C-alpha cells in the first residue's frame, strides 16, 4: 500500500481526495496547513504528497521548498493541486520543486489516473 500525504485546507476537497485514494487502496494522511504538511512529511515519510497551493499560514510552494530542503534526491513526488491555471503556472510550479500539477476543480473520475500518470512519468509508484 502506498502512503499519500494530502495537504488541503478545503474540507470538501480533502474528503473527496481521501475517499478516492482509499477506494484505490492508498493510505491517506491528512494535513490542513502547510506547516502541518511539512511536519507530517518528515514524520510519516509518505510515498507521495498532494499539495494545495493556497493554504493558511505558509503556502504550498513554501511548504514544498521546506520538504525538499533536507532531501538528497528527488524521488519523493509532490503534486500541486491548484486553481491557478494561467499560462506559465505549470512551469512555475515545476520549477518550484513540484513533480506535477493538477488543476482544480478536481475531476473525481480522472484524478487518480492523473496522479498515477504523473508518478509513472517520473519513476515507479503504482
122 pLDDT tier (thresholds 50, 70, 90):
confident
Q: Is a pLDDT exceeding 90 seen at residue 120?
A: no
**In this model, does residue 2 exceed pLDDT 80?**
yes
Give pLDDT tens digits for 29-68. 999 999 999 999 999 999 999 999 999 999 999 999 999 9
Q: For the segment 69-80, what is each residue's pLDDT rounded down to a tens digit?
A: 876 455 789 999
| Domains of the chain, earliest start first | 3-122 (3.40.50.2300)
> Cell match 487518480: residue?
112
pLDDT at 113: 94
Q: How far is residue 32's CA from residue 122's CA, in Å, rounded to a whole number?
A: 26
Question: Helices 11-23 and 111-122: crossing angle, nearest 10°?
Answer: 70
Q: Does residue 35 sit in helix, strand or coil?
A: helix
Per-residue burial over 94-103, b = 16 or more CB atoms within 10 Å of its CB, e = otherwise = eebbbbbbbe
R_g (Cα) of the chain, nearest Å? 13
Mean pLDDT value of segment 101-122: 91
Q: What is the mean pLDDT of the chain?
A: 90
Q: Which pLDDT score, from 0 to 100, does residue 123 have? A: 65
Rounded to two decimals, the pTM is 0.91
Residues 6+ apart with CB under 8 A from 92: none
Distance from C-alpha of 31 to C-alpha of 94, rounded to nearest angstrom: 22
Query: Three cell numbers at 91?
Result: 512551469
Amino acid at each position: 500500500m502506498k502512503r499519500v500525504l494530502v495537504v488541503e485546507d478545503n474540507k470538501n476537497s480533502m474528503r473527496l481526495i481521501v475517499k478516492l485514494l482509499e477506494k484505490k487502496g492508498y493510505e491517506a494522511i491528512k494535513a490542513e496547513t502547510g506547516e502541518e504538511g511539512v511536519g507530517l512529511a518528515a514524520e510519516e515519510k509518505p510515498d507521495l504528497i498532494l499539495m494545495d497551493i493556497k493554504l493558511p499560514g505558509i503556502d504550498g510552494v513554501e511548504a514544498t521548498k521546506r520538504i525538499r530542503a533536507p532531501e538528497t534526491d528527488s524521488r519523493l513526488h509532490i503534486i500541486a493541486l491548484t486553481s491557478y491555471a494561467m499560462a506559465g503556472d505549470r512551469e512555475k510550479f515545476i520549477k518550484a520543486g513540484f513533480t506535477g500539477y493538477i488543476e482544480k476543480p478536481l475531476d473525481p473520475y480522472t484524478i487518480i489516473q492523473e496522479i498515477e500518470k504523473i508518478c509513472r512519468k517520473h519513476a515507479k509508484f503504482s
